[in-house]
Amino acid sequence: MQRFGLSAFARRHATVLAGLVALALAGCGGGETASITSTPTISGTAASGAPLANAAITITCSDGTTKTGTADATGAYSIPVTGCPAPYVISATAQVGDVTQTLVSVLATTATGISTVNVTSLTNAIAATLASDGNPATLSANIATEKANITTSGVSDRNTALAAALAPALAAAGVTGSVDLIATQFTANRGGFDKVLDNIKVIVTPNGVSITSPGGAKTDDMGNMSGQTVTADLSAAAITINGSTNFKAGLTALPATVDDMSVADNVQAAFNSCFALAAAQRGTFGSTGQAAACAALPFASDYLNDGNTGSQEFDSYLTGSTYDGATFAKPEVIRFYSTTAGDQRALVRFALKRADGVGEWIQTVAENSTKTGGTWKVRGNQRLYRVSINGAVNREEQLETRGTGTTARAKGAYYYSGFTIGFDYGAGGAGGAVSGSSRGNGKKIAYVNVTGPGLPNNGIVLNPLLSGCDTFYAITTSSTATPASCTGFYKMQYRKATAADPENANSQSSFGSTSSPDFAATAATDATITGLQPFSAYQFKIFNVGNATTTPNLIYVERLRGRPVALGSTVGSGEVDKLTFNTGLATETKNLIDPLSSSAFAGGASFTVKWTNVAGAPAISKVQVQSRPIGGSTGTLYQDQTKVALTAASVALTNSGVAWGDMSKATASGNFNLVQLRGRDINDNEYLQNWRH
């Protein structure tokens, strides 16, 4: 049972202060009274369950000045705030996998002595409801006007209401006494209050904050769900709040379920020990020549995850020198599939950071069952194929007007919002081999039908029939039709980016077009988008080659972490208007893909993309280039993509050693050049920024 007392950092400060007091008293004459003061300091823990290790901490004072520092490996920080007037906004930023996560907290009153201010997913929720636009970062960015929202009563009402909603979970975690979500000291150690943080998922959108407890509505949908009922979403274990919520009236209590989220922590330690060694020592999955630290990795011998065996999943990491010195953060347990006796399975995600700064994720399943010998091992989800679905928003900039009349693609910028839906071409041999000009030799899967909230009643169809689509199956009109383009982005909404941008008639007309199955038949309303629930279930109905029936061979269920962004019907009315996009592609690069520019790229071995990182935008983690300069849909498609460090500002793409075509020739209908900068947030929402001709 956890009782709240001084944390390690607070005890250290208390010791220092005690020493200063002793020195002050020693310097006073007998019987004299010493006037003792201490430096005002704000201290706390930055964590979202797992600590934000080594997070950059920024305290924004009400006059706009800032104080900065760095959290330690446990997320603990302590920063003096002398001369820094209240109220304060405290931000913690750290790289987690291939995203930059920022959490925000507040202190409404003047700091005296040591004031504890935690920065967690829950304080971030409080900050979101205080910000005028629902974005926690706005509190510090516009402190001059936003400080009026950070009042003692406003913070207290939110704190009290959320603590009461979490009371059953807190009690189940062994937390006794009153709890202040901002000021109660804790350690990010998987126990007590931190155990509650581990068990809830907080998703902040411009429309409000969803706080979900997946363990409160646990459902086992990991395997083939054919013939079984699937729980649509887990909203019965969720509450939604925003700036208009009446916090004095209280909130619905979240479930008392608090699972032990330490089930994969031993894997983190084992990963870090193994990857501290050079690639030559790490061996391969299950090999006899592995160093002891790597042989100790708790992998099940029958590992299978998303169609990949243990060797297919991990050998590229183990044998690649790129991963020498890679470090793994404490894993996130997304949810449990099962916690029954003799069968415990949890979906876990490991964030890693390579020595070159590139971040990645490994998402798999940890299991403790008779099949793992009654101990926790990493066994994978045992699925034959890989499926995925994420919320996505795309800001697209058309560099030159293409076409004429009602289908013109006008020069300007516009948004799409919807889902990126993936069925992996290569995992499990789904799409088969590629031999010469023949696609899909030996392919196992003919097509996939995907259904779920926000999609048409009969779902959408993915198939592998278009030349060049050798990563994921693409959206098409039917099980046998050839996709119009290599895309898994299902577009639910469209809107121009600014009032000055022209309408893109080509995109408008794509809604309801039978030739554009990647567009909804009717553009979705904002209410449809905002009504999508976290952890909503999507069924991937998988049909083998030769299956002419309407009964799929497999049904996999994938759950949405974060929903798409609502665009609004007019400029300024949507959630998208409260987001920052990375619009910093260099003019030099724009000219390279513009065939009307005198600097258009004439082809060659390497194509270099340059950009400027825009403050407040999701960090760029992947860069992609595509070009079909001649031949329309039957012409050669040149494409390459690569992961980049979140601090990178340029990268060269080599198209797997095949020289790029002459981009200056992409002027005819059906030809195009495109550069994409891609980022994501901690809830797997994708932010795509495209420039195209």
3-class secondary structure per residue, 491-541: EEEEEECCCCCCCCHHHHHHCCCCCCCCECCCCCCHHHHHCCCCCCEEEEE
Higher pLDDT, 503 or 323: 323
Counting the structural domains of the chain, the total is 4
Q: Is residue 3 part of a domain?
A: no
| Residue 51, domain member (yes or no) | yes
In this prediction, residue 227 carries a pLDDT of 73
Domain assignment present for residue 529? The answer is yes
Angstrom CA distances, 528 to 155, 225, 512, stand at 31, 26, 17
SS3 content of the chain, % helix, strand, coil (to 5): 20, 30, 45
Domain boundary pick from 378, 406, 424? 378
pLDDT grade for 27, boundaries at 50, 70 and 90: very low
Confidence of residue 382 (pLDDT cuts 50, 70, 90): very high
613 lies in which domain range?
Answer: 580-693
Q: What is the mean pLDDT of residues 249-274?
A: 94
Q: 350, 637 in Cβ contact below 8 A?
A: no
Judged against a pLDDT cut of 50, whether residue 37 lies above it is answered with no
Query: Is 257 a domain residue?
Result: no
Looking at the domain assignment, is residue 525 inside a domain? yes
Residue 442 has pLDDT above 90, yes or no: no
Q: Of 553, 571, 589, which residue is a domain's last?
A: 571
CATH number of domain containing 369: 3.10.450
Across the chain, mean pLDDT equals 90
Cβ atoms within 10 Å, residue 642: 15
Confidence band of 534 (pLDDT split at 50, 70, 90): confident
Judged against a pLDDT cut of 50, whether residue 318 lies above it is answered with yes
Residues 545 and 605 both lie in one domain:
no
Residues 650 and 550 in one domain: no
pLDDT over 70 percentage in the chain: 93
Same domain, residue pair 518 and 589: no
Half-sphere exposure of 15 (CA within 13 A, CB side): 7
Phi-psi region of 12 (alpha: psi -120 to 50; beta: other; left: phi over 0): alpha
d(CA 351, CA 331) in angstroms, rounded, equals: 7
Reduce the DSSP state of residue 550 to 3 states and report it.
Answer: coil
Do residues 460 and 449 touch, judged by C-beta distance below 8 A? yes
Domain identity same for 232 and 270:
no
Q: Do both 498 and 352 map to the same domain? A: no
pLDDT per residue over 298-309, tens digit each?
999 999 999 999
pLDDT score of 207: 87
Same domain, 557 and 590: no
Give the separation between CA 692 and CA 674, rounded to whole angstroms.
4
Average pLDDT on 127-143 reads 96
Q: Is there a single domain that holds both residue 419 and residue 285?
A: no
pLDDT one-digit tens code per residue, 383-428 = 999 999 999 999 999 999 988 776 778 999 999 999 999 999 989 9
Q: Within a domain: residue 444?
A: yes
Same domain, 556 and 587: no
The C-alpha atoms of residue 410 and residue 502 are separated, in whole angstroms, by 7
Task: Considering only CA atoms, give the Rg of the chain.
Answer: 27
Among 378, 394, 412, the domain boundary falls at: 378
Q: Clarify whether residues 466 and 613 are in a common domain.
A: no
In a domain, 151, yes or no: yes
Residues 517 and 650 in one domain: no
If one counts every other C-beta atom within 10 angstroms of the C-beta of residue 153, the result is 10
SS (H, E, C) 220-250: CCCCCCCCCCCCCCCHHHEEEECCCCCHHHC
Q: What is the average pLDDT across 81-102?
A: 96
Say yes or no: 416 and 534 in one domain: yes
Note the pTM of the prediction, 2 decimals: 0.91
pLDDT for position 36: 43
3-state secondary structure of 647: coil
In a domain, 509, yes or no: yes
Contact 116, 184 (CB under 8 A): yes
- In residues, how long is the chain? 693
456 prior amide bond cis, ω within 30: no
- Nearest-5° angle of CA 583, CA 586, CA 592? 120
How many Å is the maximal CA-CA distance in the chain? 99
How far is 440 from 685, CA to CA, in rounded Å? Answer: 30
Edge-to-edge strands of the sheet including 412-423?
489-496, 412-423, 387-398, 686-692, 672-680, 620-628, 638-643
CATH number, domain containing residue 624:
2.60.40
Q: Are residues 321 and 451 in the same domain?
A: no
